[in-house]
């Protein structure tokens, strides 16, 4: 491929992998080219005029537009985002070769027509009345004092297909070493263990984690894994969802007007649904570049970095502790430059003199569980053993027995001794 063609291809990949805003597109292009070129700003402005919405289904048209708008002085230099062949997976990717829609349908055990219907390329589900033909169930989870969370749960057939997509395609792609959530062999405990015994622990929270990973980002990451345009487009349709207006109208009270409006805007666009089996893996892949940036930023400051889903954690020594506040502000800028947002109300800087908690694990001296949490669980188990479990399930948890076993297993994974003590109390409970 000639240099200018490679430049166009790299810009197409960068744009379709970013949020469809001027700042995010310019930042993604600059990252791809290795520098901020003066002509990028005007180019992005004119692309947004030509395509007010991300052309997920028209990457070739986007490429033609970019080629026509590129100034003559634009140098054909691509820093790290090499163009991907349109007909086959790259040799370095563990994602299987899928040459076309027929191959994808066969892999998923579907007819081409059934695949097209589930992918919902025309966004029929967003406009259709609620009923049995909808692909998702929507459940609002109220949170006192905060904006509600929406669970978007795919129904039977789509959920089964997404499971296959996870097992056979997206789950095979490598994630960044800093990611510990939803990764085989890693967990909240392995991530927390990286920060044990630190002089300071800095934690930040990504806002609207799944909703920020939009269809263009998903399409871009699938293309970077070497999947052909049509295949990447169809998989994007299978794994993203735009919430119907009727569901958004039922948003419960809670949160500020700005938070509520922001959530509605995010859920209106096709995004990773919270509740789909593919969403965690795709979110990890979408954040690979951000993980790499934050790892480099942390290393330059003498700190460590891990991420568990939307929880960003950094830690370091006394020298790092003296600059922790400024470092946290820098992290927020890096995140925003990548097109994401930090929830400023959840940023915490904890020095060794206070309890340092990472994803629910105390890390001051060694990984441990908060004593208050263990004591509360012990009290529930004791009351179940003395008075019977029926009257202790005050929250109405479904399958209370399994719920208690899960909480005991969590404690045991962090602190085996305390876990064994809790299990001994559990074994005294009589279940009818």
For the chain, domain boundaries: 3-69, 101-175+214-284, 187-208+287-367, 371-426
pTM, full prediction: 0.79
**Cα-atom radius of gyration of the chain, to the nearest Å?**
24
pLDDT at position 84 is 40
Three-state secondary structure call for residue 92: coil
pLDDT at position 410 is 95
Q: What is the mean pLDDT of the chain?
A: 89
- Please report, rounded to a whole number, the percentage of residues in the chain having pLDDT higher than 70: 94
Name the band, by pLDDT with cuts 50, 70 and 90, for residue 343: very high
The class level of CATH for 187-208+287-367 reads alpha beta
Residue 74 pLDDT exceeds 80: no
pLDDT at position 34 is 74
pLDDT at position 78 is 44
Task: Read off the pLDDT of residues 170-189 as tens digits, 9 standing for 90 and up.
Answer: 999 999 999 999 999 999 99
Name the band, by pLDDT with cuts 50, 70 and 90, for residue 106: very high
Name the band, by pLDDT with cuts 50, 70 and 90, for residue 86: very low
Task: Read off the pLDDT of residues 381-391 as tens digits, 9 standing for 90 and up.
Answer: 999 999 999 88
Judge whether 426 and 404 are in contact, CB under 8 Å. Answer: yes
What gap in Å lies between CA 99 and CA 222, rounded to an integer? 13
HSE-up (13 A, CA, CB side) for residue 279: 24
pLDDT at position 82 is 36
Q: What is the mean pLDDT of residues 112-130?
A: 81
Name the band, by pLDDT with cuts 50, 70 and 90, for residue 370: very high
- Which structure tokens are listed for 31? 């990252």
pLDDT at position 430 is 94
pLDDT at position 32 is 80
Angle at 18 between CA 16 and CA 22, to 5 degrees: 105
Q: What is the mean pLDDT of residues 387-403?
A: 90
Q: What is the mean pLDDT of residues 238-259?
A: 92
Comparing 3 with 86, the larger pLDDT belongs to: 3
Secondary element (H or E) of residue 76? none
């Amino acid at each position: 491929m000639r240099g200018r063609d490679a430049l166009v291809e790299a810009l197409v990949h960068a744009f379709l992998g970013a949020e469809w805003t001027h700042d995010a597109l310019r930042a993604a292009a600059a990252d791809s080219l290795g520098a901020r070129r003066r002509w990028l700003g005007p180019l992005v402005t004119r692309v947004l005029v030509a395509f007010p919405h991300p052309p997920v289904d028209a990457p070739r048209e986007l490429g033609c537009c970019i080629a026509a708008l590129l100034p003559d002085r634009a140098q054909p230099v691509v820093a790290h985002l090499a163009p991907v062949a349109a007909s086959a997976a790259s040799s370095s990717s563990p994602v299987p070769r899928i040459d076309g829609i027929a191959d994808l349908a066969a892999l998923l055990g579907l007819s081409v027509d059934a695949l097209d219907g589930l992918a919902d390329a025309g966004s029929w589900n967003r406009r259709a009345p609620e009923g049995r033909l909808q692909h998702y169930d929507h459940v609002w989870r109220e949170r006192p004092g905060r904006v509600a969370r929406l669970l978007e749960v795919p129904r039977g057939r789509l959920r089964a297909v997404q499971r296959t997509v996870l097992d056979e395609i997206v789950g095979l792609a490598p994630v960044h070493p800093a990611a510990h959530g939803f990764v085989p062999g890693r967990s909240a405990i392995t991530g927390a263990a990286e920060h044990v015994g630190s002089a300071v622990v800095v934690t930040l929270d990504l806002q609207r984690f799944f909703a920020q990973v939009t269809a263009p980002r998903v399409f871009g990451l699938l293309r970077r894994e070497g999947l052909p345009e049509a295949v990447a487009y169809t998989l994007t349709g299978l794994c993203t969802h735009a919430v119907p207006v009727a569901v958004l109208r039922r948003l419960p009270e809670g949160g500020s007007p700005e938070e509520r409006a922001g959530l509605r805007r995010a859920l209106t666009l096709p995004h990773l649904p919270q509740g789909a089996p593919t969403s965690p893996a795709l979110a990890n892949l979408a954040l690979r570049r951000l993980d790499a940036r934050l790892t480099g930023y942390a290393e330059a400051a003498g700190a460590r970095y891990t991420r568990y889903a939307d929880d960003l954690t950094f830690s370091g020594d006394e020298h790092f502790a003296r600059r922790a506040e400024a470092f946290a502000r820098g992290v927020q800028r890096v995140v925003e430059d990548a097109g994401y947002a930090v929830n400023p109300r959840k940023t915490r800087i904890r020095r060794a003199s206070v309890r340092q908690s990472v994803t629910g694990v105390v890390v001051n001296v060694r990984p441990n569980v908060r004593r208050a949490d263990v004591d509360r669980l012990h009290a529930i188990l004791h009351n179940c053993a003395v008075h019977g479990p029926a009257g202790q399930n005050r929250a109405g948890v479904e399958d209370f027995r399994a719920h208690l076993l899960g909480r005991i297993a969590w404690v045991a994974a962090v602190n085996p001794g305390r876990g064994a003590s809790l299990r001994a109390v559990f074994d005294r409970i009589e279940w009818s």
